[in-house]
Chains A and B, each alone.
Chain A
Amino acid sequence: MWYGDRVNNFQFILILLLSPLAQGIIKKIKAMMQGRVGAPLLQPYYDLARLFKKDMVIPRTASWIFHAAPYVVFSSVLAASMLVPVFSAGQSTGFLAGGGIGVSGTGDIIAIIYTLALGRFFLALGGLDAGTAFGGEGSSREMSVAILVEPSMMLAVFTAAVASGSTNLGVIAGSGSVFFSPAHVLALAAFFVAVIAETGRIPVDNPDTHLELTMIHEGMLLEYSGKYLAIMEWAHYMKQMLLFTLAADLFFPYGIAGAGAGFGIAAAAGLWAGKMLILCFGMALAESTRAKMRFFQLPSLLGAAFVLSALSIITFIMTGK
């Protein structure tokens, strides 16, 4: 079809536009679990609109890094979204894939994860650059967590990659080759923990706290205001949805359009939305029923995730599925 390629190329727009809604849904579910009415579903959009209109307060000590960080963070997440098949994994999909980052069509999973790492690096620099204690604290904690999360995320991803014989997301998502095998379940568990850590949610970080001393992600953003804060927040919403989409692509690769599965684009997009809802609900449930972990105990949680992902890949090699 004439419009097919274009739709494929622009599927990242869904992540760009719908990610605040996902945040709103998670917040709403959490509020309902706590017996509150909660903010409207669209509140994250209102927040972004309000922040974009506001003036900014820039710390006197801030250098160009403070100004550059929001843009780098946002564009790295946006670039990563362009490499991810949201609902369609056909050939030459993905906006950036044609530029050579992707092997054949959508992007390479390793490229995606390290594009996100670039954003994280600048986020941490931005937190440090403001020169306040809380920013530095947030950045140092973020990097400590990152060191622990990255290996388990990579290994979990490799299970899916080995199973489908490619690190290209389009191939993985379209292959349908990963089924509910022991290796698959182990990798999914590890990946879920990694997603919690990456999105700054309980038990790793508390996105709703006002207690400066306990913050990780929010600590780094503390000195940002107005437009920069809006960009940072939006990037964070996008990263969250991107990781959900990755989880869907890697571990529930059913119903992706364009890879011979025979799914229409509308049906595939609807299925994707369903997967997102389930993940939002799971995230809200996980966050409501637990307290945050003591910071020094995080290595055991993230270490456990690493062990799970390592076991998953060993299981796969031994059982072959």
Chain B
Amino acid sequence: MHPENEKYIELSAADFPRKCAEYSRRHFLRTMFAADERELDGYFRVYAVFSPMGEDRFDILTMKLREDALAYGSITPLVPAAHWYEREMRDMFGIIPEGHPDPRPLCLHGIYGDVYPLRRDVTTDDIKKSVDFSREDGYFFMRVKGEGVYEIPVGPVHAGIIEPGHFRFSAVGETIYHLDPRLFFTHKGTEKLFESRGFENGVELAERISGVSSFSHSSAYCMAVERMAGMDISPRAKAVRTLVIELERLYNHIGDIGNMCAGTGFALGYAKGAILKESLMALNARLTGSRYLRGINVIGGVTRDVFDAADDVISTLDGVKTGFKHFMEFLLDSISHIERLEGTGLLSREIALKMGATGPAARASGISDDIRRAHPHLSYGSLIFEAHTYQKGDVYSRMMVRREEAECSFSIIDSLIERRHEGELRMPAGKFPAGGSALGYTEGPRGSVFYWIKASGDGSPLRVKVRSASFCNWPLVSYAIHGNIVPDFPLVNKSFNLSYSGCDL
């Protein structure tokens, strides 16, 4: 019924918080979400997905909640990493985590009325009708009191061409005491939309959740659907996906390192990074027809074999590899730039662990967690590579983790191209089992991407939960910026490089 490495553990609402706290000591909380399963058995369900450190297994704790008693004891006081997930469930389903330290809504801003969008009996029309732009928001920001404390409101509209997000700084002079971000300005209802599109048509949607993570999202989504349907795609299709995920990592990591130069005002470094990124994106376009690697993934495999163009990949990557080596030497020799990165935006291992950090941000703070190694999937089981960690947790560490991972991606691609990969590119999608469910996951450039899907009685999607890396890492920026100075915020923010769209579903 379930994929082999998923173990569901049914708990009562009374036991749930205690058990979660117990699990969180030796497990990573991967994601937490609710589903409206009333049409199957008359209950709402809450799921918390844990995976033990160092084992390829998912322990999924779950509990049933009756429609007239949608409250349970919040796990956030015991498992801080759950804080946004519980607020999200409150907004989207009306499930109340009692005792949650933060009573504010997360995803739905004040313009929405009393509507719980992800309940199955709520239609998109109901949601649209509830919107009233003149409604009082009632949102409040956390305040720092004291002499000389002043607030700097930034956004939601920014000077650069980026998505909307509001940042409220409480500062004394230039020193930041507290940052309270408010995101979710462009809630798109993606998860609701998944439910109406059918599993096969969900791929395009997954590709559009976050532009520069298009391929890791579509891979995780396809993987979830394939696992649910019990399909095992061919080694050749797996190798194509692995290679393209690494291409996505490459252009992101190299682009991110270049973008950090914009944060320090280092124009030459920024320009050099942009040139390297562009040659990778041009390669993407030649290989797949899309600079953002869209249109390759389909349920059951891939639409084209990028190994046909292996020569182009090899020659382009050779050039980029040399260019990247020189670029890093140039950056590391530029003392004025490196000086700005060292010791800036410290994220301690303890906080990263407690708050559920993922990706390069977690590894730069000494957490050796990489989904490619923790839960080998696609071709990763047959490849030898390491999780690259740094201990200090500053902007410099986050840059160096990206550098080492980019170098690692070059060699992963090399060894994939050396091998022969057999099998059909694409296998026909079978029937989707009624009530079936599965996780799909991968390690994207920003960190782990998780999808959890569940089919309803007729095999159509009942729930598609998307958990992007940005959803985990956004709250960390507030911790990393604490005690830094205001003009360093853009740099610290760039070192995390988070997506607004990726968490604002």
A residues contacting B by CB (< 8 A) are 30, 33-36, 133-134, 137, 202-203, 206, 208-214, 287-297
Kindly report which residue of chain B lies nearest to residue A34, judged by CB atoms: B271
Question: B174 contacts A295, CB within 8 Å?
Answer: yes
Q: How far is the CB of A138 from chain B (nearest CB, A)?
A: 11
Knowing A137-B486, A292-B340, the reply to whether A213 touches B154 (Cβ < 8 A) is yes
Query: What string of 1s and 0s marks CB contacts (under 8 Å) between B255-269 and chain A?
Result: 000000111111111
Q: How far is the CB of B181 from chain A (nearest CB, A)?
A: 13
Knowing A133-B152, A213-B489, A214-B490, the reply to whether A291 touches B174 (Cβ < 8 A) is no
Given the complex, which residues of A lie within 8 Å of B153, measured CB to CB? 133
Question: B336 contacts A203, CB within 8 Å?
Answer: yes
Question: What 5 A-B pairs come out closest when comparing CB atoms?
Answer: A292-B265, A34-B271, A291-B266, A206-B265, A291-B264
Given the complex, which residues of A lie within 8 Å of B268, measured CB to CB? 33-34, 288-289
Query: What string of 1s and 0s marks CB contacts (under 8 Å) between B160-197 and chain A?
Result: 10000000000000100000000000000000000000
Given the complex, which residues of A lie within 8 Å of B263, measured CB to CB? 211
B residues contacting A by CB (< 8 A) are 150-154, 158-160, 174, 261-272, 275, 334, 336-337, 339-340, 344, 485-490
In the complex, 8 of the A-B residue pairs with CB atoms within 8 angstroms, ordered by the A residue number, are: A133-B151, A133-B153, A211-B160, A212-B159, A214-B490, A291-B261, A292-B265, A295-B488
How far is B269's CA from A35's CA once the two chains are assembled, in angstroms?
11
Question: B337 contacts A291, CB within 8 Å?
Answer: yes
Given the complex, which residues of B lie within 8 Å of A289, measured CB to CB? 268, 334
Query: Other CB < 8 Å A-B pairs besides A294-B344, A295-B485, 15 of them?
Result: A133-B153, A133-B154, A202-B265, A202-B267, A203-B336, A211-B263, A212-B159, A213-B489, A214-B490, A289-B334, A290-B334, A291-B261, A291-B265, A294-B488, A297-B339
Q: How far is the CB of B329 from chain A (nearest CB, A)?
A: 15
Given the complex, which residues of B lie within 8 Å of A36, measured CB to CB? 271
Question: B340 contacts A294, CB within 8 Å?
Answer: yes
B contact patch SS: helix
Q: Which of A202, A214, A288 contacts B487 (CB 8 A)?
A: A214
Given the complex, which residues of B lie within 8 Å of A133, measured CB to CB? 150-154
Q: Which of A210, A290, A292 contacts B159 (CB 8 A)?
A: A210
Kindly report which residue of chain B lies nearest to residue A208, judged by CB atoms: B267
Kindly report which residue of chain B lies nearest to residue A212, judged by CB atoms: B159
Question: A292 contacts B271, CB within 8 Å?
Answer: no
Question: B266 contacts A292, CB within 8 Å?
Answer: yes
Question: B490 contacts A213, CB within 8 Å?
Answer: yes
Kindly report which residue of chain A lies nearest to residue B159, judged by CB atoms: A210
Q: How far is the CB of A148 from chain B (nearest CB, A)?
A: 15
Question: A291 contacts B336, CB within 8 Å?
Answer: yes
Kindly report which residue of chain B lies nearest to residue A289, judged by CB atoms: B268
Q: How far is the CB of A147 from chain B (nearest CB, A)?
A: 14
Given the complex, which residues of A lie within 8 Å of B340, measured CB to CB? 291-294
Given the complex, which residues of B lie within 8 Å of A297, measured CB to CB? 339
Kindly report which residue of chain B lies nearest to residue A222, judged by CB atoms: B159
How far is B265's CA from A214's CA once the two chains are assembled, in angstroms?
9
Knowing A292-B264, A292-B265, A296-B174, the reply to whether A212 touches B158 (Cβ < 8 A) is yes
How far is B489's CA from A133's CA once the two chains are assembled, in angstroms?
15
How far is B151's CA from A293's CA once the two chains are assembled, in angstroms?
24
How far is B268's CA from A30's CA once the two chains are assembled, in angstroms?
9
Given the complex, which residues of B lie within 8 Å of A212, measured CB to CB? 154, 158-159
Given the complex, which residues of B lie within 8 Å of A30, measured CB to CB? 267
Question: A288 contacts B160, CB within 8 Å?
Answer: no
Given the complex, which residues of A lie within 8 Å of B489, measured CB to CB? 213
Given the complex, which residues of A lie within 8 Å of B261, measured CB to CB? 291
How far is B270's CA from A298's CA once the two chains are assembled, in angstroms?
22
Question: A211 contacts B490, CB within 8 Å?
Answer: yes
Question: B271 contacts A213, CB within 8 Å?
Answer: no
